[in-house]
Structure 1
Amino acid sequence: MAELLFVTGRFSVDRVDRRKGMADVALKAGVSLSTVDRVLNERGSVSDLKRRRVLQIAQELGLKRLLPSPQHGLLRFDLLLVDSTTDHFHRLAAAFSKQAQMHRSRLIVQTHVWPERNPDHLIDLIRNPKVPRQGIMVVAQDTTAVRRALKKQISAGVPVVMLTTSLSGLEGATYIGIDNNVVGRSAGKLMSQWVTTPGSDVVLLTNSLKYHAHQNRVEGFLKIMAEKAPQVKVHGPFECFDRDDLIVSTLAELYAKGLTIHGLYTTGSGSSGVKQALSNREVRPVWIGHEATKQHAEFLREGLLSLVLDQDPEGQAEAAIQHLLFANGDLSAPPQVRPQLRILIDEMVNG
């Protein structure tokens, strides 16, 4: 009898401990004890956001029991891409399509394209999802309205991943991409080793500086050029918005002013415009561009393009999906995949 009482007493203590643990979860999660009970015992009638919050807190507090999956059914992630026709965004969209196919038994990637000339459409996509979602992956301009909309989603418990370009200081969002300041610094270091003659002219062309990525590339490039090649004059940055016609007219205007361009760094796209502007020029500048594309491989072979910096959109897509799976409890550890900065020269595409 004593042994039976001891065992009964032990189970009573365990039950009290479990109830206390559940109460701690309820307090920290800001929900009722009955909500915690329904989540842990999978009785339903709890929203996805509350369910994830309860399980997240239970995991953080080390609740001593087997926890259920954070999400019933398929996970839905919104992919919000700008309507760019550049090769980078074609590669990024294709990479996400491949990831969605690989994980089709677990998730759905809902792709939405917002027009760059109408950023209010992006705000609407962020604020008003067509169906409930468990994550957002977005390419966005750095504006107050975008920040406000994303902060509201983060506060509601929706995991947010920034792609290609970050928004500095947006607490709770995760940036997945290469370090664009390092990219700009790398371009500056390479340019400073190629263009060394005092009085030489280097031109800096960029996309819109509303994108944090281009701000960082420009900043890094200018800083290193000032440090490593102060004898060289850098003209720009000139915002050309990845438009071939603007690149052609910008370079034509600089040539018309009597500039001999010895170096050219383009932080975005518009390479067809660069080729047109440089045609029939006796002095071809050292040209550093972005993204490993078929066109750039051809330009490298021709000797028109000197070097390419690639931001690995395939790695971005894989890491973003893994991050959201981890945030939703479907992976036990943070993603190990990281996008890699890659440098491509003519020797890598010849033959």
Structure 2
Amino acid sequence: MRRDDLTQHTSARPLLEIRDLNLDFGTPRGCIHALRNVSLDVPAAQVIGIVGESGSGKSTLAYTVMGLLPENADVTAGSILFEGKDLLKMPAQARRSLRGDRLSMIFQDPMTALNPVRTIEGQMIDIQHHEQGTRGEKRARAIDMLRRVGISDPRNRIGAYPHHFSGGMRQRICIAMALLVKPVLLIADEPTTALDATLEVQIIHLLKDLQREIGCSVLFVSHHLGAVAELCDRVAVMYAGEVVEQGAVRDIFHNPGHPYTRALLECDPGRIRKSTRTLPTIPGEVPSLLGSKKGCIFHTRCPQAFNRCLQENPVEYRIGVDQVARCHLHDEERLVSA
């Protein structure tokens, strides 16, 4: 099934449309194919989750959308349509003007996302450079947003420095800064990774409430399946630079169609019912992304792989009304049923 067929199920054009995106990193060892044929939609006012192991390309995809890539990165094919305009074809200045305005991002580590030698007030006022108004009006908006994310006594604490706050409070400040500009698309790159379990739950609920209030779309990158299940409407599963499955959260979690998705879910500690000293893992290692690859990228670790998986790259097959997976098994199932 092609991506265009899937989008027919939605009445309005998605806010963000990623189509057949390929991205390489040049290295002394050769060309690393970090993203391969990635297609993904982010509809208006929805939360889309991206999950996968470390090194699967989740953060690379997020940074590609934001245009925050290193000099050795090269987008070799595809498009990123935001509000109908291809970000990859925009002049550099036009794309920069979107960041901190229509596009906003929460970075992974709250300990390093804030400037340690500037006050929270200075940073929150500066981020409103696209907004009209006096410094006093911007300060008032910043105080109000700090209050909404749960910072106590924000009028006095806004003058403090980042090191005066705990990790959880700093992440709340980062969320406040990202939402202060009222973006239409918020990209959250593993925003709870550095937090303990209790704070993680609080941050997820906070994001959920603020997203509903502001009405923005969210691209939520995470390795935590429980957080994705709690926050997201849809989910895309990435493995070694490819989107191997995507669909509604309920469909993916209750009826995973790709062997890798099933393996991820089986490794989720939240699904383990019996006490054990050994957590389940996916055997094998993520393959090297150097050079060209033949066949399914997951075949070396897949317990259901057969000859076709070694020779032919799988296309997307529809599993349900709004769920697709890149796996030859679904084509074989059709042949058997026919």
TM over 0.5: no
Q: Which has the larger radius of gyration?
A: 1
* Larger RCO (alpha carbons 8 Å, 6+ apart): 2
User: Of Structure 1 and Structure 2, which has the larger fraction of its residues in helix?
Assistant: 1
User: Of Structure 1 and Structure 2, which has the larger fraction of its residues in strand?
Assistant: 2
